């Protein structure tokens, strides 16, 4: 096997890993501040893809769909947090878990009612349909390079927001000591509301980015959610840098396994999770006792 094939597969794994990164970041910031295990995150990923399909069907503009999809899903997340999640704060962690699990089933059924069960076609724009020469040795789909690039931009923007802004400082302080933040007169409910919306928007943009390379169908978020939870667990619950590193690792693990031993591709992510948890039970960057 030529080494160029391996390098090309590594790039493929990186593009897949970036989708995991976006989803895992959304799950991690929601859990890190709200301690809510959002089982509806996969359905929001799916709704993001359908929002993109609907916008493209109306406007014929991929870039407008890319903008509207996370805004719609982020706004939906704000409604979910205010109307459904907020009344459960202070209760056992299983309450929001069960609620979001049920919400996921409802969201899937809504899509089945209005869109049916068949796949919805959605293609990358013509400007991203041509392959790009990499290092002068092989050609790689430009759309997958676009996924890598836009995810890096989103990660940088999120880092600047959390590290360099006053609101980001409040969010980070709230993850460490919410009681002290409340004592300073800051309304943590608004912060929770905003964070849930941001996490939902990340799921939405991951959905529309995945749409041209994955089939758009009602159950598309279920498998992705299971894999994404594995990514979050490996990185460490609530850890953003863990979500980024783990997403890339898992994407590369699946891609390389697909190349050398395709039969193991569907389970390698869980093997990696088992190995990491045997060595570090709280994940790569997780904190022990976070779920207690």
135 CB-contact burial (10 Å; exposed 0-12 / middle 13-18 / buried 19+) = exposed
Q: How confident is residue 287, by pLDDT bands cut at 50, 70 and 90? A: low
pLDDT at 284 over 80: yes
Which two three-digit tokens encode residue 164? 């360099």
Secondary structure of the chain: what % helix, strand, coil (to 5)? 75, 5, 20
Tally DSSP H helices, then E strands, for the chain. Answer: 11, 2
Q: Say what the pLDDT of residue 215 is.
A: 84
Q: Say what the pLDDT of residue 272 is.
A: 92
Q: Is the Cβ–Cβ distance between 161 and 29 less than 8 Å?
A: no
Task: Quickly tell me which residue has 């302080």 as its tokens.
Answer: 173
What CA–CA distance (Å, rounded) separates 97 from 78? 17
Q: Say what the pLDDT of residue 177 is.
A: 67
DSSP 8-state assignment for residue 165:
S
Q: Say what the pLDDT of residue 152 is.
A: 95
What CA–CA distance (Å, rounded) separates 159 from 168? 9
What CA–CA distance (Å, rounded) separates 198 from 195? 5
Q: Say what the pLDDT of residue 109 is.
A: 95
Mean pLDDT of 264-288: 86
- The DSSP line for 205-227 is HHHHHHTTTS-B-TTHHHHHHHH
Nearest alpha-carbon partner for 230 in 214, 251, 211: 251
Tens digits of per-residue pLDDT, 170-203? 877 776 666 777 777 777 788 889 999 999 999 9
Burial 245-275 (b: 16+ CB within 10 A, else e): bbbbbbbbbbbbbbbeeeeebeebbeebbee
pLDDT at 1 over 60: no
The Cβ of residue 56 has, within 10 Å, a number of other Cβ atoms equal to: 24
Question: Which domains can be identified in the chain, with CATH numbers?
Answer: 3-279 (1.10.3470)
Nearest alpha-carbon partner for 76 in 48, 36, 39: 48
Tens digits of per-residue pLDDT, 19-59? 999 999 999 888 877 778 899 999 999 999 999 999 999 99
pLDDT at 292 over 60: no
Q: Say what the pLDDT of residue 92 is.
A: 82
- The DSSP line for 77-115 is HHHHIIIIIGGGTTS-THHHHHHHHHHHHHHHHHHHHHH
Which two three-digit tokens encode residue 262? 């395709």
Tens digits of per-residue pLDDT, 239-255? 888 899 999 999 999 99
The helix (run of H) or strand (run of E) holding residue 123 is none
Tens digits of per-residue pLDDT, 90-147? 788 889 999 999 999 999 999 999 999 888 888 888 888 888 888 777 788 899 999 9
Q: Say what the pLDDT of residue 151 is.
A: 95
Could you tell me which residue, 238 or 216, shows the higher pLDDT?
216
Q: Say what the pLDDT of residue 22 is.
A: 94
Q: How confident is residue 288, by pLDDT bands cut at 50, 70 and 90? A: low
Q: Is the Cβ–Cβ distance between 170 and 186 less than 8 Å?
A: yes
What CA–CA distance (Å, rounded) separates 28 from 155? 13
What is the phi-psi region of residue 128: left when phi exceeds 0, alpha when psi lies from -120 to 50, beta otherwise?
Answer: alpha
Chain center to CA of 21? 6
Mean pLDDT of 201-228: 92
What CA–CA distance (Å, rounded) separates 171 from 163? 10
């Amino acid at each position: 096997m030529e080494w160029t094939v391996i390098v090309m597969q590594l790039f493929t794994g990186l593009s897949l890993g970036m989708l995991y990164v976006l989803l895992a970041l959304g799950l991690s910031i929601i859990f890190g501040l709200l301690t809510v295990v959002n089982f509806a995150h996969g359905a929001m990923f799916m709704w993001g893809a359908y929002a993109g399909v609907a916008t493209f069907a109306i406007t014929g503009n991929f870039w407008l769909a890319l903008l509207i999809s996370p805004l719609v899903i982020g706004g939906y997340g704000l409604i979910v947090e205010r109307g459904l999640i907020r009344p459960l704060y202070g209760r056992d962690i299983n309450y929001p878990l069960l609620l979001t699990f049920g919400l996921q089933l409802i969201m899937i059924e809504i899509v089945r009612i209005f869109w049916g069960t068949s796949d919805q076609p959605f293609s990358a724009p013509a400007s991203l349909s041509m392959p790009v020469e990499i290092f002068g040795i092989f050609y790689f789909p430009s759309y997958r390079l676009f996924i890598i690039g836009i995810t890096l931009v989103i990660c940088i923007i999120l880092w600047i927001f959390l590290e360099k802004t006053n609101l980001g400082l409040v969010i980070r302080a709230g993850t460490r000591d919410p009681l002290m933040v409340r004592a300073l007169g800051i309304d943590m409910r608004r912060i929770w509301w905003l964070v849930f919306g941001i996490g939902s928007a990340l799921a939405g943009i991951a959905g529309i980015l995945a749409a041209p390379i994955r089939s758009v169908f009602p159950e598309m978020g279920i498998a992705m959610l299971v894999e994404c939870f594995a990514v979050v667990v490996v990185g460490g619950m609530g850890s953003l840098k863990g979500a980024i590193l783990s997403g890339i690792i898992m994407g590369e693990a699946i891609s390389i396994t697909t190349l050398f031993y395709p039969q193991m591709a569907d389970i390698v992510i869980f093997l990696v999770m088992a190995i990491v948890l045997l060595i570090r039970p709280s994940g790569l960057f997780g904190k022990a006792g976070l779920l207690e």
